[in-house]
Amino acid sequence: MATNLTHFEIFGLDPAFELDRSALSARYRELQREFHPDKYASKSEREQLLAIQMAAQINEAHTVLRDPVQRAAYLLKLAGVEVPPEQTTADTEFLMQQMLLRERLEEVREQANPTVALEELAEEVDELYRGTQRQFAETYASGKFSEAEDALRKQQFLVKLQSQVEELEADLFGD
């Protein structure tokens, strides 16, 4: 296996946002077995080094492809679009929505039923996240890379918010 393959090529997948996660996992296990450094213990030093490099590349590719945000950023990179991490979306309506969602998150503890309030907020954030994933998939597939980049930025906002919701949930309910 050549070391200059894309993450998708390593797994024999077409470069697309939507992918079969079970096929990815199955192929990952196959490749791990095939290139496990222990299988190369009796081989030459060069073959051992190549196996270690391939194992590292397989692990990196798997990490990127199984995470929707990393996969989206990687697809844009393959299309020649670098996404600087410090930039934000220009969609002021989305930014206002984010501010309101964060305010609701801060007020969960004060609600009469914090469990219900947090559950409703989590569901709303998850639905928004799925919507940005669909938006990314559609705009990327149609070659509208600037719109896809904006959808990725929104996903990044929502992932952070999902994480904050989970942290509050663990804090409130000891999970």
Domain ranges of the chain: 7-66, 92-173
Fold match between 7-66 and 92-173?
Answer: no
Model confidence at 3, pLDDT cuts 50, 70, 90, reads low
Task: Say how far residue 39 (Cα) sits from the centre of its chain.
Answer: 31
On the question of pLDDT at 144 being above 70, the answer is yes
Q: Contact 17/141 with Cβ under 8 angstroms?
A: yes
Strand ranges, E, within 28-144 = none
Give me the chain's average pLDDT, please.
Answer: 89
Cα angle 110, 120, 65 (rounded to 5 degrees) comes to 120
pTM, 2 dp: 0.84
Q: How far is CA 16 from CA 81, 82, 91, 131, in A?
A: 15, 17, 25, 17
The CATH superfamily of 92-173 is HscB, C-terminal domain (1.20.1280.20)
Helices 114-141 & 68-78 angle (0-180, nearest 10): 20
**pLDDT value, residue 82:** 83
**pLDDT value, residue 49:** 84
* Half-sphere exposure of residue 80: CA atoms within 13 angstroms, side-chain side: 2
Query: 112, 121, 25, 117: which is closest to 65 by C-alpha?
Result: 25
CATH 3.30.1330.50, applies to 7-66 = no
**pLDDT value, residue 2:** 52
On the question of pLDDT at 125 being above 60, the answer is yes
Question: In the 8-state DSSP scheme, what is residue 66?
Answer: H
